[in-house]
Chains A and B, each alone.
Chain A
Amino acid sequence: MTELVRKRPEFRNINALKDLPSYRLPAAGIVSILHRISGFLMFLLMPLFIWLFDNSITSEISYAKLSAAFGIGIGFVPGWFFKLLALALIWAYLHHFIAGVRHIYMDAFHAVTKEFGKSSAVATLVLSLGLTAVLGAKLFGLY
């Protein structure tokens, strides 16, 4: 190694606030951490999801109440807030699902080259964000 080569920055004892913001994550890394974050988010929103499921199938009245929740809201919580939570759930599920399929595909077909890692990661992000946009537009009544 010549003295002209800049010493590469070393990352030991990674401090979340000092080091992580300056660290460039590759596409596959972004997909990976979002996979974890989306899973955690769904874990937190699980009661909401079950509340939606419960009210949607219990009776006509609860179903109507649920539809109203997304329109007018319930109590002090406005309708658009429920839609926002639903959108978060939609994104979380789509990303987690597609990234998960990518995992299983790489496991099953041993597709573990660096190039495939990048291309599949980009495809995951495009597909999940694209579908979220489409479903979100439908949810918010844009079409």
Chain B
Amino acid sequence: MSSVNYGSKRIVTGAGYGFRDWLAQRVTAVLMALFTVVLLAQVIFTSGPIGYEEWAGIFASQWMKVLTFSVIIALLYHVWVGMRDIWMDYVKPLALRLALHVFTLVWLVGCAGWAVQALWRL
């Protein structure tokens, strides 16, 4: 361990979030997998061809909107943990890694906002 632990030498990882994020990735993964099954089942068990009406109809009900919204939030956390791990593994310079973390978060939050907007247009 370095005796200098401030400024650019400060170690900013390993602050006790390992288990929480490991578990969160699995929990969000299970939620998203269940959502995939629910969505797939609705698509498969629609009799006849699926056009706009049938497809948009799936997301019209309130319970489906709530479920999809939860999945979007779950996806946010899931992807954040994954991308943070990737930057942590391959990007050693601190300033660059911090910039990539910020970019990742803005990207994710922006995408989530867009998805929620699209969902509640119905």
Closest Cβ neighbor of B115 among chain A residues? A50
- Nearest CB of A to B59, in Å: 6
Taking CB atoms, residues of chain A closer than 8 Å to B15 are: none
Instruction: Let me know if B122 and A54 touch, CB within 8 A.
Output: no
Taking CB atoms, residues of chain A closer than 8 Å to B29 are: 100, 104
User: Contact flags (1/0) for B24-57 with A, using CB distance below 8 Å?
Assistant: 0010011001001000000000000001100110
Q: Is A53 an interface residue (CB 8 A)?
A: yes
Chain B residues bordering chain A, tally (CB within 8 A):
25
Complex Cα spacing A60 to B52, Å? 6
A contacts with B: majority SS = helix
Within 8 A of A (CB), among B83-107: 83, 86, 104, 107
- Nearest CB of B to A39, in Å: 5
Instruction: Let me know if A57 and B122 touch, CB within 8 A.
Output: yes
User: Contact flags (1/0) for A79-123 with B, using CB distance below 8 Å?
Assistant: 000000000000000000100110110010000000000000000
Taking CB atoms, residues of chain B closer than 8 Å to A50 are: 111, 114-115, 118
Which one, B52, B82, B114, contacts A54 given CB within 8 A?
A: B114
Taking CB atoms, residues of chain A closer than 8 Å to B121 are: 57-58
Complex Cα spacing A60 to B51, Å? 9
Q: Is B79 an interface residue (CB 8 A)?
A: yes
Chain A interface (Cβ within 8 Å of chain B)?
Answer: 36, 39-40, 42-43, 46-47, 50, 53-54, 56-60, 63-64, 97, 100-101, 103-104, 107
